[in-house]
Amino acid sequence: MEKLLHNYSESIRLSKLANEYIPGGAHTYSKGDDQFPANAPKLIDRGHGCKLWDVDGNQYIDMAMSLGTTVLGHAYEPVLDAVRYELVRGVNFCRPSVIEGKLAELLSSLIPSAEMVKLGKHGSDAVTGAIKLARAYTGRKYIARCADDAFNAIHDWFIGSTVVNRGVPEEVQRLTLQFKYNDIESCERLFDEYPGQIACFNLEPVSFTPPKDNFLEKLKTLCEKNGALLIFDEVVSGFRFSIGGAQEMVGVTPHLSAFGKAMANGFSVSALVGQKEFMKLGGISHDQERVFLLSTTHGGETHSIAASIACINEIIKQDAIAHFWKTGQALMDGIKSASIELGAEKYINISGYGVKPAFSFNDECGNISMLARTLFMQESIARGVLMPYVVPSFAHKKEDIDFVVEVVKDSLKVMKEAAEGKGMASAIVGEAVKPVFRKFN
Ligand SMILES: Cc1ncc(COP(=O)(O)O)c(C=O)c1O
């Protein structure tokens, strides 16, 4: 343990305090102590570019970038300038501010399916807003979500369909149906089983696996034939795969889509966008029954909206998306070569895209394992890299990626030696990390 630990005295003291007052010790489950090995920094003090410092002053290369939000880097000056400008002019008013319309117009000009835009604070708001609108438009109660998506929203329609469904009424759970990505038959079967009853199909258009055999086009046609709406959850893929989202990359426009994460460099802004025919139902000038769509006290917060406009403009100006693709690919290639050089390929799986690389880790028998993941994170943290998952950002430069590849190589070496020696379990200090979605602690 000694060699693995940085000095964490302040971190441990302050984290006890957080755990006493916050259930889970964090406001996002993926940040919890159960997601990290025992030698992980418990509390972060500050970040700059792609570097983080914990409260004891230890420095790390950040590969997770604020759950995928700080795409330009922590404390990115042009975004901060825009935020500062608004902060001193007042942050929220009883009528809309000018920049709400400006961001909506910008999003409409960039996202192929965006004729109208409703802003929120969280990705969950936007996805759940889309589900609500689809139900309202179609008058149907069932919804279908992609079983391969790890997460779509904190709301009951999604959480009720996971193992952590405590507190969600059974009646609500039953309304969410599931289909498989790239399996059009699984979608057809749902329409056969619930004819005229499904309001929408919701999915991440591209996650780690490419769409095959025109799956997304076929799904759109199938939805339209059956009077349902197609919703793309672009909370992760938006402003990452392409400036107009994955929908621009794959050339399929959904009826509604949801954006969040990458659109405001860490500030809290999300957007439900879509075709006017559906979106206008949330408005106040049609003569149909009204739909109460995404109305929040903080939705018009000026400095966050300014951050979003500045972030999107910088992504365009710096050609940051090309940088994400290149950087992530360099990382995947570097790690692949390192693992081959070490003869450790059997312990790591590399998949995904340059903009969204995925790594998982295998135990001695070649099975994906939380124990192997824990050992990997323990060793990379000990060497100054925080990599619970990978989000390439504009702040990651070649020297950072070279450093991370070296750290991953050293970590894989430890994993291989442990696997071939006393076993990975014996090399882990503390408990193994656990999946977020589990029934019991
Ligand atoms: C694909 C996807 N959709 C929606 C969400 C929800 O976003 P938020 O946490 O901003 O509510 C997430 C969050 O991780 C996500 O990964």
Protein residue with least CA distance to atom 4, ligand 1: 152
Report if pTM > 0.95.
Answer: yes
Protein residue with least CA distance to atom 3, ligand 1: 152
Centre of ligand 1 to C-alpha 150, Å, is 9
Instruction: Find out whether the beta carbon of 233 lies less than 6 Å from any atom of ligand 1.
Output: yes
pLDDT at 4: 62
CATH for 77-317 is 3.40.640.10
Q: Which CATH number fits domain 2-72+319-427: 3.40.50.1260, 3.90.870.20, 3.90.1150.10, 2.40.30.10?
A: 3.90.1150.10
Fold identical between 2-72+319-427 and 77-317? no
pLDDT at 5: 61
Ligand 1 atom, smallest distance to 125 CA: 11
pLDDT at 17: 86
Centre of ligand 1 to C-alpha 124, Å, is 6
pLDDT at 14: 86
Ligand 1 atom, smallest distance to 28 CA: 9
pLDDT at 3: 56
Ligand 1 atom, smallest distance to 149 CA: 1
Ligand 1 atom, smallest distance to 270 CA: 10
Q: Can you list the residues of the chain whose pLDDT is less than 70?
A: 1-5
Instruction: Find out whether the beta carbon of 260 lies less than 6 Å from any atom of ligand 1.
Output: yes
The secondary structure of the chain, three-state, reads CHHHCCCCHHHHHHHHHHHHHCHHHCCCHHHCHHHCCCCCCCCEEEEEECEEEECCCCEEEECCHHHHCCCCCECCHHHHHHHHHHHCCCCCCCCCCHHHHHHHHHHHHHCCCCCEEEEECCHHHHHHHHHHHHHHHHCCCEEEEECCCCCCCCCHHHHCCCCCCCCCCHHHHCCEEEECCCCHHHHHHHHHHCCCCEEEEEECCCCCCCCCCCHHHHHHHHHHHCCCEEEEEECCCECCCECCCHHHHHCCCCCEEEECHHHCCCCCCEEEEECHHHHHHHCCCCCCCCCCCCCCCCCCCHHHHHHHHHHHHHHHHCCHHHHHHHHHHHHHHHHHHHHHHHCCHHHEEEEEECCEEEEEEECCCCCECHHHHHHHHHHHHHCCEECCCCCCCCCCCHHHHHHHHHHHHHHHHHHHHHHHCCCHHHHCCCCCCCCCCCCCC
Q: Where are the domains of the chain?
A: 2-72+319-427, 77-317
Instruction: Find out whether the beta carbon of 127 lies less than 6 Å from any atom of ligand 1.
Output: yes
